[in-house]
Chains A and B, each alone.
Chain A
Amino acid sequence: EVQLVESGGGLVKPGGSLRLSCAASGFTLSTYWMHWVRQAPGKGLVWVSHINSDGSRTGSADSVKGRFTISRDNAKNTMYLQMNSLRAEDTAVYYCARDYNWNALDHWGPGTLVTVSS
């Protein structure tokens, strides 16, 4: 069974950092692109970043470019999102998702809540 589980969320002060992890099981992580998507309280889904299967290509939304870095360790079946210079508007549930076939996110984790507040 395909499973994705995020971890690393929590309360952080503005300007602080957090690293989210996404542990994958039930499939071979190295054969899939992966994404981070977030949802602020009461708002819609927002694409954050994605990474290709071997980690050589990434893309990020303008709102996080230069602050967030996506990476992966296929040997550990884990993807990461390093978040620096956090702002109040980064407060959201962060989901990791598997890309089945070009922007088709077929499996999602339950999400991890990041709260940026002083």
Chain B
Amino acid sequence: QSALTQPASVSGSPGQSITISCTGTSTDIGSYNLVSWYQKHPGKAPKLLIYEDIKRPSGVSNRFSGSKSGNTASLTISGLQAEDEADYFCSSYGGRTTSVFGGGTKLTVL
């Protein structure tokens, strides 16, 4: 149950697009279409942004999109806004009734 690998930080200017990667293995990300992404502001509960690799819950802005290739999933945020500054976490079903999170990526909006 090793944590998924995310970059520690990314940054972008308002209006730009950024992509956050999430690398796992063939036993988690590579085996299931069950990657989810969460946004977390300090002191607040996490918010689900993406599930089943690419699906967006109702109410989540279409500026957030997910993709996956092999053992790596990605979250893209387009049209960056100041309120997007937060921590972002990926998660995958890991098989054998386990789940795993990534270490998190701090997004700074310049």
Contacts and interface: CB of A to CB of B under 8 A. Distances in A.
A50 B99 CA distance: 8
Interface of A: 35, 37, 44-47, 50, 57-62, 95, 97, 100-106, 108-111
Given A62-B1, A103-B34, A44 B103 contact: yes
A106 B48 CA distance: 5
Dominant secondary structure of chain B at its interface with chain A = strand
Contact of B98 (A47, A97, A100, A108): A47
Nearest to B100: A47
Contacts of A105: 36, 38, 46, 48, 91
10 closest cross-chain pairs (CB), A and B? A59-B97, A104-B51, A44-B104, A108-B45, A47-B99, A103-B93, A103-B34, A45-B101, A44-B103, A106-B48
A46 B96 CA distance: 17
A77 to B, nearest CB: 19
A3 B91 CA distance: 22
Contacts, number: 75
B96 A59 contact: yes
A35 B48 CA distance: 14
Interface of B: 1, 3, 34-36, 38, 40, 45-48, 51-52, 57, 87, 89, 91-93, 96-104
Contacts of A103: 34-36, 51, 91-93, 99
Contacts of A95: 45-46
Contact of A46 (B38, B45, B92, B101): B101
A102 B93 contact: yes
25 contacts: A35-B99, A37-B101, A44-B89, A44-B103, A45-B38, A45-B91, A45-B104, A47-B91, A47-B100, A59-B97, A61-B1, A61-B98, A95-B46, A97-B46, A100-B51, A101-B52, A103-B35, A103-B51, A103-B93, A104-B48, A105-B36, A105-B91, A106-B51, A109-B45, A111-B45
B36 A104 contact: yes
Most chain B CB atoms below 10 A, which of A59, A62, A100, A109:
A59
A22 B10 CA distance: 34
